Structure 1
Amino acid sequence: MKTVIVSSRKGGAGKTTLSLNLATEAAQQGKRKVALVDLDPQGSSLFWASLRDRGHPTVLKGNSVDVFLTLGELEDEGYDTVFLDMPPTDKKWIRESLGQADLVMIPTKPSPLDIHSATSTLEWAQEAGARVSWVINGASPISKNPDIVFELLKATRVPVFKTIVHERSDFVTSLSRGLSVSEAAPSSKAAAEVAELWREVKNALARTAA
């Protein structure tokens, strides 16, 4: 089982939107069983799931006390890939969880201030010995900032996913219907970005130890 943690201490980085769209994309692209564990007290992933009439991916409420137990149970149940949607807080259990991930994704908006705010998450992941990658999320389709920020992220000497996820209305409308962008607007630019990002994530996971 591969575990992907989407985490950032910076609020508003789009962790939940990335998590549920990637989990759905993974389920659609041949993974036998995919789960999304909502560990954020706001419960946004669970709310999205309550609007759905589809069973995949499995979305369940997580608890900081038994997150490791939850992962063990999911592995026993034969899940192939599990995404953990983390809250934007500084908690000991989050730091400990990062070390259990096959990949830690740190989303950031294309702003130096957002990068600065997310750096503590990067430090936690590195201290835990986790494989970690940045992903630029919520970028303006008409701004040149993402290209500039991409270079800033490369300077951290941490991998940066080449796919830049832009702020698009299809993300909002799909979420309101309990769908991913690939389900609600399969021909959209948003869906294409999620599909390309999942390909990158899948390749990164394939390079981790079995």
Structure 2
Amino acid sequence: MKVVAVLNEKGGCGKTTIATNLARGLQLEGRDVMLVDSDVQGSARDWGAVDTETEKPAVVGMDRPTLHKDIPKVAEGSDVVVIDGAARAEKMQTSAIKASDLVLIPVQPSAYDIWSSETLVELVRARQEVAGKPDAAFIVSRQIVGTNLAGEAQEALESFDLPVLRGRTAQRVIYAEAASQGLSVLDVDPSSKAAGEIRQIVEDILATLDLQTARTNGTTG
């Protein structure tokens, strides 16, 4: 089992959008996926509770700082667990980091968002010194199409000496439309640009977790 935590100190950076779409994207790649909502706001749980004809990943609420102890108990048999992280909750973030193989840090292309990532990066590095993991990577989130801000943000993020995923999300109405229906953009319109963005993120995550194997052979790395 692999655990991916989508974390950032700052609210409104697109954590839940990325977590829900990533979980569904991994499921469509043939993985058994559990989505853990660790935010007391419960947005991912609300998404999971919307009744649809689509078989979505199981969504479990865990809003206590014991994720590293609880996830192995409830997610037995899952291939991948995706944690939708809580903002402004250092104990929860620390627990999520302990539970994870990969911490994905979404940042909007603005100086404020980039600066707010510093504390989280320090928490990740402190855990790496103790346990040798998790890996961590930035993902540019909610970029404004047609601007140079995302490129400038990537240059700034590289100063943290962490990789920046090739996949990124843009501000597109379809993300909100999909969320309101309890679906991913892959379900609402598989041919959309947003669906292409999520597929790239899924590909990046599978490669990072060394799970990039053919779906047809029924094996995982």
Relative to the length of structure 1, the TM-score reads 0.93
Shift of 1:99: 2.5
2:194 corresponds to which of 190, 194, 199: 190
Counterpart residue type for residue 202 of structure 1 = L
Corresponding residue for 2:154? Answer: 150
The residue correspondences of 1:155-174 to structure 2 (distance < 5 A) are 155-174=159-178
Counterparts of 1:93 and 1:18 in 2: how far apart (Å)? 19
Shift of 1:29: 0.8
Shift of 1:93: 3.9
**More divergent stretch after superposition (36-45 vs 97-106):** 97-106
Shift of 1:118: 1.7
Number of residues of Structure 1 aligned to a counterpart in Structure 2: 206
CA contact (8 A) 2:166 2:200 kept: no
Q: How many percent identity over aligned positions?
A: 29
Corresponding residue for 2:43? Answer: 44
CA contact (8 A) 1:110 1:145 kept: yes
1:101 aligns with 2:105: no
Counterpart residue type for residue 8 of structure 2 = S
Counterpart residue type for residue 92 of structure 1 = K
Corresponding residue for 2:215? Answer: none
The residue correspondences of 1:24-103 to structure 2 (distance < 5 A) are 24-31=24-31, 33-53=32-52, 54-76=54-76, 78-103=77-102
CA contact (8 A) 1:7 1:106 kept: yes
Q: Which runs of 5+ in 2 are unaligned?
A: 129-133, 212-220
Counterpart residue type for residue 12 of structure 1 = G
Corresponding residue for 1:19? Answer: 19
Shift of 1:107: 0.3
Corresponding residue for 2:218? Answer: none
Q: Give the 3-state SS of the residue equivalent to 2:141 in structure 1.
A: strand
Q: Give the 3-state SS of the residue equivalent to 2:161 in structure 1.
A: coil
Shift of 1:45: 0.5
**More divergent stretch after superposition (135-144 vs 47-56):** 47-56
Q: Give the 3-state SS of the residue equivalent to 1:133 in structure 2.
A: strand
Counterpart residue type for residue 35 of structure 1 = M
CA distances 1:80-126 after superposition (whole Å, capped 9, x unpaired)? 00001111113224213302211000000001111001211111111
Corresponding residue for 2:216? Answer: none
